[in-house]
Amino acid sequence: MTKSFRESLTEDRRLVMLRLLAEVEGYEANSSVLQSALASFGHTMSRDSVHTELAWLAEQGLITATPMATIVVAKLTARGLDAARGHATVPGVKRPGPGA
């Protein structure tokens, strides 16, 4: 079955979030920083939408998400790192391409 553009965009956005966290020392960043970084990769989204995606990633065991005042602190799990590197396949998250 062919995915819709919206589904493909959502899967790519989730992969970008995981890969951003994989690049940060300690594998941790807050939702404000992630929102800015996502925009630089063509994924402009509201803070609420970032929080929604972080909650989804946490439900899948790919990150931990800790609410703090108006932000959420996201930390990559081992499973999330595997997905970011293409060593694990997670439905709903785009698989990185070759050389990722």
> Is position 95 within any domain?
no
- 73: three-class secondary structure by DSSP: strand
Q: What is the CATH number of the domain that holds 42?
A: 1.10.10.10
Output the CA angle 83-34-96, nearest 5 degrees. Answer: 25
> Is position 90 within any domain?
no
Domain boundaries, position 40 = 5-85
At residue 60, φ and ψ (nearest 5 deg) are -85, -5
pLDDT digit string, tens, across residues 20-78: 999 999 999 999 999 999 999 999 999 999 999 999 999 999 999 999 999 999 999 99
State the residue for tokens 């990185």: 96
Residue 10 has pLDDT above 90, yes or no: yes
> Is position 49 within any domain?
yes
This prediction has a pTM of 0.94
User: What is the number of structural domains in the chain?
Assistant: 1
> Is position 29 within any domain?
yes
Residue 99 has pLDDT above 60, yes or no: no
